[in-house]
Amino acid sequence: MNRIFWVLLIGLGLAAPFLIYPVFAMKLLCFALFACAFNLLLGYVGLLSFGHAAFFGGAAYITGHVVKVWGFPPLAGILTGTLFALVLGAIFGKLAIRRQGIYFAMITLALAQIIYFLSLQLEFTGGENGLQGIPRGQLFGVIDLSQPLAMYYTVFAIFMIGFLIIYRAIHSPFGQVLTAIRENEPRAISLGYNVDRFKLMAFILSATLAGTAGATKAIVFQFASLTDVHWPMSGEVVLMTLLGGMGTLFGPVVGATAIVAMYNELSAMGSWINVIIGGIFVVCVLTFRRGIVGELARLLRSRS
Amino acid sequence: MKRMLMAATCGLTMILASGASTAQDESQGLSSDYVKVGVLSDMSGVYKALEGPGAVVAAQMAIDDFGGSVLGKPIKLVSSDHQNKPAVASSTARQWIDRENVDMITGLDNSAVGLAVQGLASDKGVITMNTGSGTTELTESQCTEYGIHYVYDTYSLPVGTATAIVKNGGETWFFITADYAFGHSLEDNTSMVVENLGGKVVGGVEAPLGTTDFASYLIQAKASGADVIALANAGSDTVNAIKQANSFGIVEQGQQMAGMLVFLTDVKALGLETAQGLQFTTAFYWDRSDEARKWSQRFFEKHGAMPTMVQAGVYSATLSYLEAVKKAGTDDADAVREVLGDMTINDMFVQGGDILPNGLMTHDMYLVKAKSPEQSEGPWDLLEVVATIPGEKAFIPLSESACQLLDK
C-alpha cells in the first residue's frame, strides 16, 4: 500500500513540471510540505495548532528580507527562514503546550496574531503591500533558479527532504511515543515519559518544517505577503490535512493538492468557490472523517 | 506494463506537441492571432463591489465599443479571481502570459497583488494597467517599464481632499489614523498639504486596524474643536468610523468629516442618512458629465449598479490600450508603451489624461460631498462635485518621483 504511494509520489513529483504548469506544481509542493508539517502535530500528537501561519509566513518574510536586502544566496535564505521558524516554534511551543484542546488552539491563534500585527507594522515587511521583488538568485552559485525547471527540482528536493524527515520522525521510537501521547496521555505519563518535552519537540519540528515551506514559497513566488501570516492560512492548512487524511503519511499531500487545485481551477467561479470548498469540508466531516487517504487505506485493508 | 509505457509516451508527446503549436507566427506585428486583455480582480472578497465582475463588464464594453477587433484580429477577454491572494494572482498572471498570450492585464485591486503582478508582467514584457490598487509604490520605488497606474493612488486621494477643503475654509484638522504604515502615509501626505496651504493639524489619534469601537477617538476629535475630522484609514475602518460619527452628530454640529480613501460603493453601503456631508476625492463620478452619464447608464443596464471610478477606469484603460495597439500597429509592449506615453487620453473617464514615464497617469480629480437624503433624487444620486483638483496638483510631480527608471 505505502509502496504504491511512494512510487506515485516520486514518479509524479519528477514528471510534474511536464504535466502541469511548473509554478503551480511548485506551489503544490510548498503547501504539501506545509500540510505534512502540520499533520505531524495534529495527526500524530493530537495537538490542533491554529497558529501555523505565523511560522509559514514569518519564515517567508525573514527569507525574503535576507535574500533581498542582505544579499543571501537562496538556500542560505531558506535556512535562515527555517531557523527563524524553529526559534519561534520553541517560544510558541513552550507557552502553548501547557494547555490542551481548545485552549491550546486559542493560545497558538493569539500568538500567531501577534506575528500578523508585527508583519503589518514593521517597516521591512512593506505592510499591506507585502515584501516584493525577492530575487531567486543562483543555487550553489551556478544553477540559475529563474529557470522554471531548475527552480522546480530544487523545490522538489526540499520537499522530499522535509517529507523524509517527517517519515523518519513518525517511524522512530520518538514517533511511537508521540502516538502513545495522542492515544492516552495519562498512561504515557505513568510509563515515565516526559510528555511535555515530547510535545515541545514535535511542536518545534512541525513549526520548523512549516517555516521551510513558507521560506521556499517566498523564493518561488518572489514575494511574501500578509496572506501568508493571516489566520485564514492557519485554517486552510487544517482543511488540507483533514480532507487528505489526518494521521496518514500521504494524506496531507493529497489534501493540499486538492485544495490548491480547487482554488486554482475554480477561480473563475467567483464567490462560489468558498461555498464549494465549505460544502466539501462539511461532506468530508460528515461522511468520510478519515479523509481521502484514510478511507482509501481502510478500504484496501478490509479487502485484504 | 509495456503497453502502459507506450500510452504514457504517446500522451507525453501529445502534450509537448500541443505546447509547441501555441507558439504563433508573428505576422502583422501581433504576437498571436488575437489581442487578449486579462482582467484580474477580486471576484469574491472585500473589493468585489468596487471592481470585481463590474470590471469585466466594463472591459467587455470597451472591446465592443472598439469594434471587437484590432489590426484585423479579434480581441479576446479573460478574467479571473485573485481571491486577494498574491500567490494566486501571480500564478494566474504567469499562466496567462506564458500559455494564453495575454497582452495586457488590468484590474489588480489589492496593493500586494498589484505590485506582485506588475513586477512579474514587466519581467515578461507585458503591460499592466492597474486601476484597482492605491499604493504609490507602483510608480515610485517599485516602478517598472511596462507598469501603468491608471485611476488613483494614496497620494492623490488625500492630497486632493486636503487641498480642496483647506481652500474652502477648513483650516484646523484632526486625524483618526489606522495604526500601520498605510494609515501613517495617508496622514503624512495629508498633513503636509494642510500645513503648506496654511492650515493647522491640531491633533490626532491612532486606532488599530480592525477597530470596531471608535467612540473614544471620536470624542477626542469632537473635543479638539477642529474644523475637519480626517479619517486616514480604509474599508471597514472608515465605514465604522463614519457610522459612529453619525450617531455622535458630528456633522450636524458643524464639524466636517473627510475620508482619505472612500469609494462610491462605501457611500452606497452606508446610505445617505449616515454618510451625508462626508467629503472625499474621486477620479470619476457617473453623474459628473453628459458623456459619463450616458456611458454609466449603459453600464447600469448590464451590471445593475452604477460604475465606481475603478470600473470606469478599466473601461478607459482597455480602450486606451487598444487605441495604442492600433496606432503602434503591433502589440509589442515597448511600442505600445511608447504610444501610450505620447497619447493624451480623452474619453468619458478622463480629459487630458497623461501617462508619465514612471507609469503614473495624471488627470483631474474631483472633490465630492455626499448629499443629504433630501437632496438625493434617486437611488444612485449620491454625490455632488464640490471642486476640481487639476492633475498637476493631484499627483506626485515627476520631479519628486523616486522611480529609478527616471535616472537614465
Q: Where are the domains of chain A?
A: 2-303
- Please tell me the number of Cα atoms within 13 Å of A43 on its side-chain side: 33
User: Which amino acid is it at A68?
Assistant: K
Adjacent-strand bridge partners of B360: B149
Q: Measuring CA to CA, which residue among B79, B63, B72, B62 is closest to residue B34? A: B72
Collect all residues of chain B within an 8 Å Cβ-Cβ radius of residue A27: 87, 91
Lowest-confidence region among A109-113, A141-145, A173-177, A201-205: A141-145
| A37/B311 Cα distance (integer angstroms) | 42
State the residue for C-alpha cell 477561480: A267
- B18 to chain A nearest CA, in Å? 12
Using the Cβ of A274 and the Cβ atoms of chain B, whether some distance falls under 8 Å is answered with yes
State the residue for C-alpha cell 509589442: B332
Burial tier of A140 (Cβ tally within 10 Å: 0-12, 13-18, 19+): exposed
Using the Cβ of A93 and the Cβ atoms of chain B, whether some distance falls under 8 Å is answered with no
Q: Under 8 Å CB-to-CB from A12, ≥6 apart: which residues?
A: A19
- A201 to chain B nearest CA, in Å? 31
Collect all residues of chain B within an 8 Å Cβ-Cβ radius of residue A69: none
- Please tell me the number of Cα atoms within 13 Å of B375 on its side-chain side: 13
pLDDT at A3: 81
Cβ-based contacts under 8 A for chains A and B: 109
pLDDT at A129: 83
pLDDT at B126: 94
Cα dihedral: B392, B393, B395, B401 (round 10):
80
pLDDT at B3: 53
Does A263 sit within 8 Å of B88, measured CB to CB? yes
- A271 to chain B nearest CA, in Å? 4
Does A223 sit within 8 Å of B94, measured CB to CB? no
Is 60 exceeded by the pLDDT of residue A92?
yes
Using the Cβ of B44 and the Cβ atoms of chain A, whether some distance falls under 8 Å is answered with yes
| A110/B364 Cα distance (integer angstroms) | 45
Using the Cβ of B49 and the Cβ atoms of chain A, whether some distance falls under 8 Å is answered with no
pLDDT at B406: 79
Contacts 24+ apart (CB under 8 A), B248-252: B248/B215, B248/B218, B248/B219, B248/B222, B250/B218, B250/B221, B250/B222, B251/B276, B251/B277, B251/B278
Helix (H, G, I), strand (E, B) or coil at A111: helix
Does B99 sit within 8 Å of A271, measured CB to CB? no
List strand residue ranges (DSSP E) for B272-375, in order: 279-282, 344-345, 353-355, 361-362, 365-370
pLDDT at A125: 86
Task: Give the right CATH number for B156-284+365-388 from 3.40.50.2000, 3.40.50.1950, 3.40.50.300, 3.40.50.2300.
Answer: 3.40.50.2300
Q: Under 8 Å CB-to-CB from A255, ≥6 apart: which residues?
A: A35, A239, A240, A241, A242, A243, A244, A245, A291, A292
Among the residues of B124-214, which ranges form H helices?
Answer: 156-167, 181-196
Does B83 sit within 8 Å of A263, measured CB to CB? yes
The answer to whether residues B143 and B174 touch, using CB atoms and an 8 Å cutoff, is no
User: Which amino acid is it at A208?
Assistant: T
Q: Under 8 Å CB-to-CB from B274, ≥6 apart: which residues?
A: B242, B243, B246
Among A267, A271, A274, the residue with its CB nearest the CB of B80 is: A267
| B350/B316 Cα distance (integer angstroms) | 8
Mean pLDDT score, A151-163: 94
Q: How far is CA B125 from CA A36, B77, B128, in A?
A: 37, 19, 10
The answer to whether residues B138 and B193 touch, using CB atoms and an 8 Å cutoff, is no
Using the Cβ of B52 and the Cβ atoms of chain A, whether some distance falls under 8 Å is answered with yes
Which bin fits B359, alpha (ψ -120 to 50), beta or left (φ > 0)? Answer: left
Q: How many residues does chain A have?
A: 304
| B359/B337 Cα distance (integer angstroms) | 9
Collect all residues of chain B within an 8 Å Cβ-Cβ radius of residue A23: 90-91, 94-95
Lowest-confidence region among A73-82, A134-143, B71-80, B293-302: A134-143
The answer to whether residues A203 and A31 touch, using CB atoms and an 8 Å cutoff, is no
Cite the residue boundaries of each domain of chain B with CATH code 3.40.50.2300: 30-154+290-363, 156-284+365-388
The answer to whether residues A33 and A163 touch, using CB atoms and an 8 Å cutoff, is yes
Using the Cβ of B43 and the Cβ atoms of chain A, whether some distance falls under 8 Å is answered with yes
Using the Cβ of A301 and the Cβ atoms of chain B, whether some distance falls under 8 Å is answered with no
pLDDT at A158: 95
* Alpha-carbon radius of gyration of chain A: 19
Does B82 sit within 8 Å of A267, measured CB to CB? yes
The whole-chain average pLDDT of chain A stands at 90
Q: List, edge to edge, every strand of the sheet that includes B69-70.
A: B69-70, B73-81, B35-41, B104-107, B127-130, B147-149
φ/ψ of B137, rounded to 5, equals -55, -30
- A223 to chain B nearest CA, in Å? 7
Does B16 sit within 8 Å of A18, measured CB to CB? yes
pLDDT at B15: 47
Helix (H, G, I), strand (E, B) or coil at A12: helix
Mean pLDDT score, A170-174: 93
Q: ipTM exceeding 0.95?
A: no
Q: How many residues does chain B have?
A: 408
- B210 to chain A nearest CA, in Å? 11
Among the residues of A122-193, which ranges form H helices?
Answer: 148-170, 173-183, 185-190
The answer to whether residues B382 and B264 touch, using CB atoms and an 8 Å cutoff, is yes
DSSP class of residue A125 equals T
Q: Average pLDDT across each block of 10 residues of chain B; the chain has 408 residues. List them in order.
A: 49 44 49 90 84 93 92 91 88 90 91 91 93 89 92 89 87 90 85 90 89 92 91 87 89 88 89 89 92 94 93 94 92 92 92 91 93 91 91 88 80
Q: Does the domain made of A2-303 have the CATH classification 1.10.405?
A: no
Collect all residues of chain A within an 8 Å Cβ-Cβ radius of residue B95: 21, 23-24
The fourth-level CATH superfamily of domain B30-154+290-363 is Response regulator (3.40.50.2300)
- B39 to chain A nearest CA, in Å? 11
Does B112 sit within 8 Å of A227, measured CB to CB? yes
- Please tell me the number of Cα atoms within 13 Å of A127 on its side-chain side: 15
Using the Cβ of B293 and the Cβ atoms of chain A, whether some distance falls under 8 Å is answered with no
Adjacent-strand bridge partners of B365: B389
Q: Measuring CA to CA, which residue among A109, A95, A111 is closest to residue A49? A: A109
Using the Cβ of B91 and the Cβ atoms of chain A, whether some distance falls under 8 Å is answered with yes
Lowest-confidence region among A125-129, A220-224, B214-218, B392-396: A125-129
